[in-house]
A and B are shown apart, each in its own frame.
Chain A
Amino acid sequence: MLDKSVAAHLEKEIRKIREDVLNDRQNEAVDAILKDWKIKNGFVFPIIDGPPGTGKTTVGSIAAIEYLLRHPRKQVLYMCYTNQACAMAQDTIVDTLNKCTPTSASTTNMAAIGAKLTLRLEYGSETEWEKGVVGYKQETTSDEEVRRLQSIPILICTLYSSYTGVNYRSKGCKLILDEFSQIDPSLFFDVVYRVRIAGKEPDGFSLLGDPLQLPVVTSQPHLETNIGKYIEELKNITPITLNVQYRMHEKICAGINSMRTALGNRQPLVSDKGVKDRDMTEWYEWKESKAGKYKHILDPSDPLVIVDTDSLSGGVPNLEEPVSTSTKNVPEAKLAADLFVAARAAYKRTVPRLPEFQILTPYGGQLQEIKAQLRKRLGKEYEKDMCTTIYSSQGNEYDFVIVSFVRSNPRGGLGFLEDDRLASQAYVACSRAKAKLIVLFSEGTFLVGGHKVFDALYNTKEAVKEDAP
């Protein structure tokens, strides 16, 4: 629990953030989460639709902190679908606190308060206090771990750990479920049961997410609907939608808006004035000479570039090959690795922060190939996190993103990307980029057969088209 003076200071700081930083809809969403959830003949049950970069996790963080300031003896259980998403949520909460001014520079460090306020529960892991992680296994939780779990104000865990999460609450708690697009109704009701048998009265549920992002992973059509949509249809309600994005350059945002329309959402995202013209030169010095033959593709003045990889095979799309249960495209992997290395050379960091260059791909086979190519080119400088799957990237953002979509065949087959729901991977991948997005795909494959999400991205007028050199 926070001592009174720190709490009073934090309250002021949070109020300031809400007034100066949050927009009207974000404030509305925070208020909804904080509202007493029991009303006459029903409940307040906020569903917050937050597209990429609109700050939904920030909304969740602010609401969690403010809730604790209003109810110092209560607790928050913040739940995500994966452990990785939990780690990101924890970082966001600590970052939110870092935005506050310290009480006095010499005494209270806000990051330390963040560490004091949050813990992450991870099934089967080892406890690492310095990382804010409590590992747990049913029978081996130590007294120290139990004590900390009981007293921590914000506990973050996956939905499957919700019984343990709630069980360590001293009383009821506010439950916030992030990334609801991945949660099917059966899992939600499973959580409700876990909360119930833990014997603690909940103090409200809130759902945060973007229904267009990664869907429920299931083989069953009946489980495809996410819990947000399920409740909307069941009770005929409309969620609170956040519509101002604080992440992307407006040209990248234009591509995202085209894809949103193709995915069935007609509400466009508006770019905040702080980001709409923000390109790579905000953090890096552009050294054109180091970009070599890729200078047109890497040029910072073109934030969204679509590269046709058909030129790598003389205009005929036939580069993909099966690998185990996945697919890879070696020439495209080489191109992605070359572009990545050239970009790192051409963009010299000008501000003291870690460079954020990333390659994303939907296929495990391609991920493995790109990593092998990067390892060859970078040697000791290679880091395993330079490339990741789109699935794992949800919730992250990077300055510079290369997306390798892999498929290259004359019949226009996109594999699982043909499935409307899984095509959202394209939307997730492209919306990770802040200042520069390079999309690698075979026009001869993706632009035949009416794949509406890819057609929409390609037809974005702000996108620059290039052939692979």
Chain B
Amino acid sequence: MTQKHFGSLNTRTIIPTMWKTARRANALQKTFPSGKPDFHPFPTVTNLINAAFCPLACVHDLLHGLKNVAVLSRGFGGTWTEPVGTLYHDFIAWLKCSIMEGNRPPTSVREVNFRLKEFAMYDNEKKQNCWDFYLKDWYERKASELEQLKKDSNVYFEVFVSNDGVKFEYNGGHRSYPLYGVIDEIDLDEKKIIERTIRGERSDSCPPRPEDYQVWLLWKALSSVDKSKLPGPWKAIDFKKFKPIVETPFNDFAVKETDEFKMVTHDAYAWILDIYGEKSAALVEAYRNRYCDYQNRNEQCGFFPACYGRRWKHPLSRGAMRARLGEFYRPLLWEQMWNSHRLRYCLQEMTDTELATEGLLYPGSIVSTDKNILTIRMNADQANSAMFRKEEGETNTMVIFGTTSVGLEVDATVTKAGRGEVSVRIKSTRLPHFKRVALVFPSTLSIVKTSPWFLKKTTQRNIFWLGKIGRDNDRKAEEDSVVQLLDTFFDDRRSLEMGGKRLVG
């Protein structure tokens, strides 16, 4: 397999941009959110990959709420199908965790297959594909590595890194940008950061793209976190010495830093900035600079159906409809920025004490762990506040093991609170031996409750696909209520009626 070039590099002169983080007043949530945020986005590694791959992918990602360009979608919109890759990675993480918890490693291919069946109770087809095409090969290659895992091995999964000042070199200097991402696996003993993927082939001589870029970005973000922001037990670790690895079912590839990675990153940030803003010219430019066109289309791209979907005859008012629906994309992005990106800036720019005072973070220390129930001791006022939230029905929270810059974010449910302690139920996973933890509640105490930000992304995606639905056949279009309803909304010649007889006064 030869590596594909990044789409965006072929396009325009790269001018690194100045990134505007949330002002302190904003980060402290003292500013009432309204309209366009006066700070720039806090991108994820996925946002960067999409923007680096193709400017139009960046539009689909930020404005249309579509998923990762590297994820092959199945079915229309790819909304309801979970890629086999997720099962593959989740199972490997589970298997390794169970060995580190004291279970013996599997001794045969057959046994691994049996454990997979136990692990994934549903969706036999996905399970079978995962086994036949990927997991069997992976195990045959990794059996001896599994045997070496011990109870005290320092291997962790889904470690997040959030850094509002990742430095990327440029012309002898550097530019700083924010970046958030999740590392599939980090092996502190072997000094490895692993990006696991089902892409790639047996005969490959280089890592698949964009996973090589992805793991490099994650390494870059982690290795540039200020030592003071690392979790206590990890402060002495020099992450710059860690190797970024792309692990396919058939090969492990060490990824080296290249100038191409650095340049494409500056360009990707520039695209994100252009597309998040109000300039309509940015969309035209993104379209003009897209990576492929109909004649040379990239059918492996996860956004293929979005760019090259069928053009239906009905609804006849499609132009007007898409123009009206198009007005919602950017406000929905800005809404996500106020709700989620601003919180990410908050967690980076404020000290734990400030975060605690603002009610955004509930720091504490673990006093006991019983199966999947953690009991956390914290300041009495904060425990009372957690109790109050629980009474108000806000039981969903997130436990951060580590700091707000590096650690594990584990979804949790508050089961008990008050008297200086809070108990939470967590999904069982391998947790680092950090005594210090913190709870983050998704909403503040503000009365104006907001929907979870990810639902806004779903709305972006759904209205984008709504703009693509249709029928060619006139009779079928006539019978299709949704097509007719859309035509009725957006075609001036068609009417809506209230149904009852009109009463005056």
Binding site for B on A (CB under 8 A): 24-25, 28-29, 31-33, 35, 38-39, 41-47, 84, 139, 160, 172, 185-187, 189-190, 192-197, 201-202, 205, 217-223, 231, 234-235, 237-240, 323-326, 362-365, 367-368, 371, 384, 389-392, 416, 422, 425
Contacts and interface: CB of A to CB of B under 8 A. Distances in A.
B391 A391 contact: no
Nearest to B122: A139
Most buried by A among B445, B449, B460: B445
Contacts of A221: 34-35, 331
Given A31-B499, A33-B499, 12 more contacts: A28-B503, A42-B496, A47-B498, A196-B482, A221-B34, A223-B332, A239-B498, A364-B445, A368-B445, A389-B392, A392-B392, A422-B448
B273 interface: no
11 contacts: A45-B498, A46-B498, A160-B455, A186-B325, A186-B331, A220-B334, A223-B332, A234-B490, A237-B496, A240-B498, A391-B449
Contact of A186 (B29, B328, B334): B328
Contacts of B15: none
Contact of B481 (A44, A139, A201, A392): A201
Interface residues on B, range: 35 or more
Contacts of A219: 33-35, 334-335, 338
Interface string B473-505: 000000011101110111001111111111100
B331 A220 contact: yes
A193 B463 contact: yes
A160 B451 CA distance: 10
Contact of B495 (A42, A240, A365, A392): A42
B462 A365 contact: no
Contacts of B33: 219
B447 A45 contact: no
A379 to B, nearest CB: 16
A135 to B, nearest CB: 13
Contacts of B469: 193, 196
Contacts of A193: 462-463, 465-466, 469
Most buried by A among B447, B459, B488, B494: B447
B444 interface: yes
Contacts of B332: 186, 220, 223
B466 A189 contact: yes
Contacts of A45: 488, 496-499
B481 to A, nearest CB: 5
Contacts of A237: 496-498
B408 to A, nearest CB: 21
B500 A240 contact: yes
B391 A222 contact: no
Contacts of B79: 197
B145 interface: no
A340 to B, nearest CB: 17
A190 B462 contact: yes
B335 A223 contact: yes
B455 to A, nearest CB: 6
A29 B447 contact: no
Given A29-B500, A219-B34, A190 B458 contact: yes
A172 B327 CA distance: 30
Contact of B446 (A24, A326, A371, A392): A326
A222 B463 CA distance: 15
Contacts of A196: 466, 469, 482
Contact of A195 (B482, B493, B494): B482
B462 A39 contact: no
A309 to B, nearest CB: 19
Which 6 A-B residue pairings sit nearest by Cβ, starting from the closest?
A32-B499, A324-B359, A28-B500, A219-B33, A220-B331, A364-B445
Nearest to A140: B122
Nearest to A138: B80
A324 B500 contact: no
Most buried by A among B79, B393, B498: B498
B358 interface: yes
Contacts of A239: 498
B304 interface: no
Contact of A234 (B77, B480, B489): B489
A364 B494 contact: no
B118 to A, nearest CB: 16
Interface in B360-416: 360, 385, 388, 391-393
A325 B463 contact: no
A225 to B, nearest CB: 11
B298 interface: no
A325 B331 contact: no
B156 to A, nearest CB: 26
Nearest to B34: A219
A43 B327 CA distance: 24
Nearest to A223: B331
B501 A28 contact: yes
B34 A363 contact: no
A192 B444 contact: no
A48 B171 CA distance: 63
A412 to B, nearest CB: 17
A307 to B, nearest CB: 21
A233 to B, nearest CB: 11
B114 interface: no
Nearest to A195: B482
Contacts of A32: 498-500
A276 to B, nearest CB: 20
A205 B458 CA distance: 22
Contact of B325 (A189, A195, A197): A189
Nearest to A365: B445
A190 B496 contact: no
B170 interface: no
Contact of B328 (A33, A222, A323): A222
Contacts of B465: 193, 197
Contacts of A25: 503
Contact of B35 (A189, A190, A220, A240): A220
Nearest to A417: B447
A332 B295 CA distance: 71
B498 A186 contact: no
Contacts of B77: 197
A28 B499 CA distance: 8
A263 B221 CA distance: 51
Contacts of A425: 447
A43 B496 CA distance: 5
A390 B446 CA distance: 12
Contacts of B501: 28
Contacts of B32: 416
A47 to B, nearest CB: 7
Nearest to A214: B448
B236 to A, nearest CB: 35
Most buried by A among B327, B446, B455, B480: B446
A82 B450 CA distance: 11
B448 A217 contact: yes
B76 interface: yes
B462 A189 contact: yes
Contacts of B392: 364, 367, 389, 392
Contacts of B463: 186, 189-190, 193
A235 B494 CA distance: 9
A214 to B, nearest CB: 10
A365 to B, nearest CB: 6
A239 B500 CA distance: 10
B385 A368 contact: yes
A201 B480 CA distance: 7
A364 B327 contact: no
Contacts of B338: 219
B497 A217 contact: no
A33 B331 CA distance: 32
Interface string B315-341: 000000000010110011011001000
Contacts of A217: 448-451
A44 to B, nearest CB: 4
A67 B448 CA distance: 36
Contacts of A416: 32, 447-448
